């Protein structure tokens, strides 16, 4: 399976639209002659179009240079990840490898042909002075058919996809196309093909005092689904983003738990915690591997005694393989789509009637509890001090997420507090990283000693981590003072 990231913009042109000369846009010197191709794609989806509604598009396409099965993840107009898989001569459905990647978006439900799109394409390349391809511009004459209700549509579309170019090139080309009468569109061909059926689903943003809370929670659910495919494959960024979305969602369900049925929301939080643990197993190894590799690399050669880097790499590689296997098993399990279905019912269903004061009171409480926890941790630097600081960090995460809920309405004051809390959270995180790294170094040193290897470098690295941790605490106190300034928190007062 091949995975690529595509950055493109899509435009609609009226009948009679003519593609303008695009030379001079962002370093474009030459515009190649057009090459024509016939593309025929069948898009697959659940009966309630859950893939499209989750910014996923699954198709089997013939024609063109990349014929086969494609899964696109991401909204039109931004960077989209495309997973490509060869097609068989008589495929009865998408390959199992792709089905595994859509289990989150499909909620585990079967997919079937939803739309057919036939496309006459004329494609040109935009080249710079060295002959480097900066972008590809495709003019498409599109015919679509909804394979469920039979609706047929035709339209003319222009796609601009970056190759070696940048966003400035896209901006310049977009302006040139707009000047020629093209209009940028924010929906895909598959959306247009089944627009009638999509309109039946109410995916509107929530309103009322609870609207910002519910909208924030839905955004985290969508991030979990959107990162499923890449996290399943072990992509570090996707694992991190999916884990953070789970943290945000768990914190939101707890901070504002009176909005939803208490028993169900707590049960969902428990399931999210387990999934977060599986993601953490992968992410923690990824972070620790990079941290230790950098620490060893920074040492002078004469202070690296023995095969330290090789041993660390070997042991973490085994840990990463095991945790990745465990994560995939969790995402393959039927409990994962069941969890997302329960989330849908919770977040898309009715909430308790509350007012703005109810929401603000819970935001203030989350911030106050974080302050109290950190005050106790800084005052007591006994044997449990590191654990107390880590617990305070978790409280500040919850506080930051609660304040983020209010940013759309409160604006800059809330955004300023979010920034201060994030700085504080990051400093506490750096301290916790040193704690975890020291424990890992201790374990590696014991194993190296048992195997008859020199343990000097492990001890040196441990001492450096301990020294760095001591430097963190004054910075934590300064960041706390800045986060508590009256001008930063005044908007929180009732």
**What is residue 351's DSSP assignment?**
-
Q: Could you list the pLDDT tens digit for every one of the 494 residues in the chain?
A: 788 888 899 999 887 788 999 999 989 999 999 999 999 999 999 999 999 999 999 999 998 888 899 999 987 767 789 999 988 777 889 999 999 999 999 999 999 999 999 999 999 999 999 999 999 999 999 999 999 999 999 999 999 999 999 999 999 999 999 999 999 998 899 999 999 999 888 777 788 889 999 999 999 999 999 999 999 999 999 999 999 999 999 999 999 999 999 999 999 999 999 999 999 999 999 999 988 989 999 999 999 998 998 988 888 899 999 999 999 999 999 999 999 999 999 999 999 999 999 999 999 999 999 999 999 998 876 667 889 999 999 999 999 999 999 999 899 999 999 999 999 999 999 889 889 999 999 999 999 999 999 999 999 999 998 888 777 788 899 999 999 998 899 998 87
DSSP assignment of 352-418 equals ----HHHHHHHHHHHHHHHHHHHHHHHH--STTHHHHHHHHHHHHHHHHHHHHHHHHHH-HHHHHHH
Write down the pLDDT at residue 472: 76
Distance between CA atoms of residues 328 and 184, nearest Å: 38
Distance between CA atoms of residues 84 and 487, nearest Å: 52
Write down the pLDDT at residue 399: 96
Write down the pLDDT at residue 382: 66
pTM for this prediction? 0.90
């Amino acid at each position: 399976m091949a995975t690529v990231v595509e950055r493109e913009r899509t435009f609609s042109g009226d009948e009679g639209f003519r593609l303008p000369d695009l030379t001079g846009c962002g370093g474009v010197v030459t515009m190649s002659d057009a090459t024509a191709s016939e593309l025929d794609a069948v898009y697959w989806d659940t009966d309630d179009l859950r893939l499209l509604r989750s910014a996923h598009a699954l198709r089997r396409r013939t024609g063109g240079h990349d014929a086969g099965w494609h899964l696109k993840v991401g909204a039109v107009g931004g960077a989209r990840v495309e997973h490509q898989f060869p097609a068989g001569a008589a495929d009865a459905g998408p390959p199992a490898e792709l089905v595994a990647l859509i289990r989150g978006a499909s909620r585990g439900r079967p997919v079937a042909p939803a739309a057919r799109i036939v496309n006459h394409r004329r494609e040109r390349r935009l080249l710079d002075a060295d002959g480097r391809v900066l972008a590809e511009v495709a003019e498409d004459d599109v015919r679509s058919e909804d394979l469920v209700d039979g609706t047929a549509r035709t339209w003319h579309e222009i796609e601009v996809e970056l190759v070696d170019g940048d966003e400035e090139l896209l901006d310049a080309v977009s302006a040139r196309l707009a000047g020629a009468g093209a209009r940028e569109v924010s929906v895909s061909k598959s959306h247009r093909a089944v627009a009638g059926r999509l309109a039946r689903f109410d995916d509107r943003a929530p309103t009322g005092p609870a609207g910002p809370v519910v909208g924030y929670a839905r955004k985290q659910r969508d991030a979990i689904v959107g990162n499923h495919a890449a996290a399943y494959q072990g992509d570090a960024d996707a694992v991190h983003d999916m884990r953070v979305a789970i943290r945000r969602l768990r914190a939101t369900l707890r901070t504002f738990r009176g909005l939803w049925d208490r028993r169900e929301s707590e049960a969902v939080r428990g399931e999210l915690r387990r999934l977060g643990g599986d993601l953490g197993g992968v992410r923690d190894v990824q972070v620790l591997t990079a941290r230790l590799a950098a620490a060893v690399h920074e040492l002078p050669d004469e202070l690296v005694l023995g095969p330290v880097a090789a041993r660390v790499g070997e042991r973490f590689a085994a840990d990463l393989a095991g945790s990745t296997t465990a994560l995939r098993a969790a995402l393959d399990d039927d409990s994962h789509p069941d969890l997302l279905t329960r989330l849908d019912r919770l977040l898309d269903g009715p909430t308790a009637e509350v007012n703005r004061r109810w929401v603000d009171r819970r935001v203030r409480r989350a911030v106050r509890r974080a302050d109290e926890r950190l005050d106790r941790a800084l005052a007591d630097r006994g044997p449990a001090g590191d654990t107390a600081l880590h617990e305070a960090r978790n409280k500040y995460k919850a506080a930051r997420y609660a304040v983020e809920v209010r940013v759309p309405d409160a604006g800059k004051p809330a955004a300023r507090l979010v920034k201060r809390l994030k700085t504080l959270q990051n400093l506490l995180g750096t301290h916790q990283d040193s704690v975890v790294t020291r424990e890992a170094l201790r374990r590696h040193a014991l194993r190296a000693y048992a195997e008859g290897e020199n343990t000097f470098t492990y001890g040196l690295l441990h001492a450096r981590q301990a020294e760095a941790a001591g430097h963190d605490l004054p910075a934590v106190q300064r960041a706390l003072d800045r986060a508590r300034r009256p001008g930063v928190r005044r908007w929180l007062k009732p």
